[in-house]
Amino acid sequence: LVTVGPERSTQVIVKALALGADKAVLLKSEETNSDPGSISRAIANELKSHEFDVLLFGKKGVDDDNQQVGQMVSELLDIPCVTQIVKLDISDGRAVAQREVEGGAIVVETSLPASFTAEKDLTIPRYASLRELVAARKKPIVVKTVQLQPPSLEVISVQNPPPRSPGKIVGKGVEAVPALIRLLHEEAKVI
Amino acid sequence: LTGEVLVFAESSAGTFRKSAYEAITEGRRLADLLKVDEYALAIGTGLREKTNELGKYGANKVLLADDPSLELFNADYFRQIALDVARRTSPSIILAAATSTGKDLAPRLAVHLNTALASECTHLDFDSGQLVATRPAYAGKVLLKVKVKSKPSIATLRPNVFTAKEASPQRTPAVEVVEFKKANSRMVAKEFVTHGSKKLDLTEASVIISGGRGMGGPQNYRILEELAEVMGGVVGASRASVDAGWRPHSDQVGQTGRTVSPTLYIACGISGAIQHRVGMINSKVIVAINKDPEAPIFGFADYGVIGDVFEVVPALTREMKEFYGKN
C-alpha cells in the first residue's frame, strides 16, 4: 500500500491495513501540492524499487476528482493500465478486466504486470473487525519524506457553485400534468 | 502557424460523438482567440468519409488514424497515436471530451509531454496567455479555477456543458493519415458488452428520467422506460435503487455514479439527497415528481409535482405522446 500525503495520512493507512494490506509506505509531504503529475512522479519513483504483478488504484480521489494518477503512474512505469474496471480475473500471468464505458463495458485482456483503476462496482469494501484494527496497528508503515515536483496545475480560486433556487410546485397528482407540459414547452422551452 | 489547438475527436462505430463536436466547437473558439489553426485528431474505424463533419465545426485539418483494430478503445494504440501527433505538430492546447476514453487518454499524454491536465472542465479562459479552467471538485460541491502553467495545456471537457455549434466559416479540412504500429500493444480490447438495449449513455443524453427508492422495485422502472422512449431519453437511477440491486451501477446518477447535465432531468420518487444532487444539479431544467412535499428535491427542482409516481408518470407518458404527436 503506497500513498502520498502529510503525517496524518497514517490514520487512513491503518484503516487500509486493517482491510487486508500487509505493509504500507507513506511518501510524506506536508505541501499542499495537488498536481496529479507531481503526485504520480513521487509514487512511480517509489514503485520502481518494488516488484509487483498488479497495481490497483481507485479511479479518482474524492477531493479533487482529477482521475489522472493511475494512468500517469502506469505510463511512468511503462506498464499497461486499464481504467474504470468493474470486473477483474487473473490467471496464467494474464488479466481480463471489464472497464465501464458509455453504454456498456469493454473487455480488455492484458499482460502482467499491469495496473487497474477501480470503478465503484469492482468490490464491496468490507468492514474491518476490531481484532483486525488492533492488528493493523502492529503492521509496518515505512515513512519516507519526499520533495514533490513543483506543480504545473495550480488552483487559483475555490468558489461555491451558483445556488439553484427552488422553482414552482406545478400542482398535485395527475391534474398537474397538462400544466407541466405547457411550462416545459412554453416557459422552459426544453420540449 | 504554430501553437495550434489540437482536439481529440472521439468516435463510436464510425460516427463522431456529440461530445467530440462540442470539443471541436470549443477548440475553434480558443483557436480564434489565439489566432491559430485547429487540428482534429480522429482515431477509429470507418471515419474516412466523415472528416468533413469536423470541418463543419471548425477544424482546419484532420489527422486520421483509421483501422478496424481501432474500433474499441485500446489505451496502448490510442496513446501511441495521440502522442505521435502531439509531437509532430506543435499544439499549445490539447482538448478532449471527458468521456471514459478522454479521461483515460489525457493523463497519459500529459505525463509523456511533461505537462498538466485540467479534468472535466466546464469553462475555459485565458489569463496572461495561460489556460485557466473552471472545474467542479468534491463531487461538484465546489468549483475550482485552475491554471495550467505548462504547454501544451491539456483539458478535458465535461460532456453536454459546451454547446456544439457549426462554425462560420465552415471548412473542408485537409486530411493527413497517421500510421501506427499494431505490434506495440500489451493489451487487447476484446469486445464491447452492453447492459441492455440502451444505446445512449447518461452523460450524453439530453433527457434523463431517473427513478429512486420511491419506485418500489425493479419491475416498476418499466413506466420510466416508457416515458423515456416517448421523450427520446434515457433512464437513470439514484444510489438507493442501485444499492438495492434494482438497477445497474452504470445507471447511477450522483457522487459515486455518473455526473450528468441533460437539458431535462425528471426525478421520479427521488428524495434529492446531497450525493444525488451533485450528480445532476447542472441539468438545465429539473422536474421532480414525489409524493412527499417535504422531499429536499423540491428545494432545487424547477418544476415540482406532488403526487404518486405510479399515477403521475403514466399520465405524463400519455400526454407527452400526444404532445409529440402535435409538435
User: Most distant CA pair in chain A: distance in Å?
Assistant: 69
**Spatial CB neighbours of A187, under 8 Å, sequence gap ≥ 6:** none
Confidence (pLDDT) at B190: 96
Q: Measured between beta carbons, which residues in chain A are less than 8 angstroms from residue B187?
A: 80, 82, 108-111, 114
Residues of B numbered 116-135 whose beta carbons fall under 8 angstroms of chain A's beta carbons: which are they?
Answer: 116-120, 132, 135
- For residues A180-190, give the mean pLDDT: 96
Closest alpha carbon to B57 in B26, B102, B96: B26
Q: Which residues on neighbouring strands pair with residue B97, listed in sequence order? A: B157
Confidence (pLDDT) at B270: 97
Residue of A nearest to B289 (CA): A173
User: Per residue in A11-55, pLDDT tens?
Assistant: 999 999 999 999 999 999 998 888 999 999 999 999 999 999 999
Confidence (pLDDT) at A124: 87
Cell of B274: 446531497
User: Per residue in A158-179, pLDDT tens?
Assistant: 999 888 888 999 999 999 999 9
Each residue's pLDDT, cut to its tens digit, for chain B (327 residues) gives 589 999 999 999 999 999 999 999 999 999 999 999 999 999 999 999 999 999 999 999 999 999 999 999 999 999 999 999 999 999 999 999 999 999 999 999 999 999 999 999 999 999 999 999 999 998 888 999 999 999 999 999 999 899 999 998 889 999 999 988 776 789 999 999 986 655 678 988 999 999 999 999 999 999 999 999 999 999 999 999 999 999 988 899 998 888 899 999 999 999 999 989 989 998 999 999 999 999 999 999 999 999 999 999 999 999 999 999 987
Residue A156: pLDDT above 90? Answer: yes
Measured CA to CA in angstroms, residue A155 lies from A30, A63, A150 at distances of 17, 13, 13
Chain mean position to CA A122: 12
Measured CA to CA in angstroms, residue A62 lies from A26, A83, B139, B157 at distances of 19, 16, 7, 19
Q: Kindly provide the b/e burial profile for residues A79-108, where b requires at least 16 CB atoms within 10 angstroms of the residue's own CB.
A: bbbbbbbbebeeeeeebbbbbbbbbbbbbb
CB atoms < 10 A from the CB of A139, how many? 16
Distance from the Cα of B190 to chain A's closest Cα (Å) equals 5
Contact A82 B141 (CB under 8 A): no
Q: Measured between beta carbons, which residues in chain A are less than 8 angstroms from residue B256?
A: 120
Cell of A175: 391534474
Cβ(B158)–Cβ(B121) below 8 Å: yes
Distance from the Cα of A154 to chain B's closest Cα (Å) equals 5
Confidence (pLDDT) at A164: 86
CB atoms < 10 A from the CB of B313, how many? 26
Task: Look at residue B9 and give its three-state secondary structure.
Answer: strand
Q: Measured between beta carbons, which residues in chain B are less than 8 angstroms from residue A54?
A: none
Contact A40 B298 (CB under 8 A): no
Contact B143 A158 (CB under 8 A): yes
CB atoms < 10 A from the CB of B225, how many? 18
Residue of A nearest to B137 (CA): A64
Distance from the Cα of B317 to chain A's closest Cα (Å) equals 10
The C-alpha torsion from B221 through B224 and B229 to B233, rounded to 10°, is -110
State which amino acid sits at residue B25.
Answer: T
